[in-house]
Structures are given as C-alpha cells and as structure tokens.
Amino acid sequence: MSSVRCELEKQICDALMEAPFPIMSPDQLVSAFPLGIEHICRCGEAEVKISEVKDKMKDKDFPLTCP
C-alpha cells in the first residue's frame, strides 16, 4: 500500500474516532465527519472528498462497526 493511501486512510480513521458506531448508511457516514459532505482528506497533491467516498460505498459495505 502506498504511503499516500496509508496517510489518507489514517486521516479518515482519525476523523471517525468520535463517531457513533455502528454507522448504518452512507448518509450516517457523511454526518460522522467533522465537516460532513465538505470534509476532504489530503496528502501532498492527493485528496479524497467524503462525497466521493459516499458515492463509492454500497449497501453491502454497511454497517461499519468500528473506525
């Protein structure tokens, strides 16, 4: 796994540390981030928008049970 991907995943996990689990839907996932749908994780020139994460997740990805 690349160091950029590792850093982005770490930022996502850190942002979810205070989230109420389980997270049952994409909308609950978005709400769990400090800036909601506007939340962006960055590493160098790479970035992941939470709106993109939401769009890629499927019903089978839920529930999320821990960060």
pLDDT in tens, 8-31: 788 888 888 888 999 999 999 999
pLDDT score recorded for residue 44: 86
Q: What is the pTM of this model?
A: 0.76
Q: Residue 57 — very low, low, confident or very high, per pLDDT cuts 50/70/90? A: confident
The tokens of 54 are what? 């939401």
Q: What letter does residue 45 receive in the DSSP assignment?
A: T
Q: Are 53 and 29 spatial neighbours (Cβ–Cβ below 8 Å)?
A: yes
Task: Tell whether the model's pLDDT for residue 1 goes beyond 70.
Answer: no
- For 60, half-sphere exposure in the C-beta direction (CA atoms, 13 angstrom radius) is 1
The tokens of 31 are what? 């709400």
- Amino acid identity of residue 8, one-letter, is L
pLDDT score recorded for residue 24: 94
**Beta strands in the chain, from DSSP E residues, in sequence order:** 40-43, 46-49
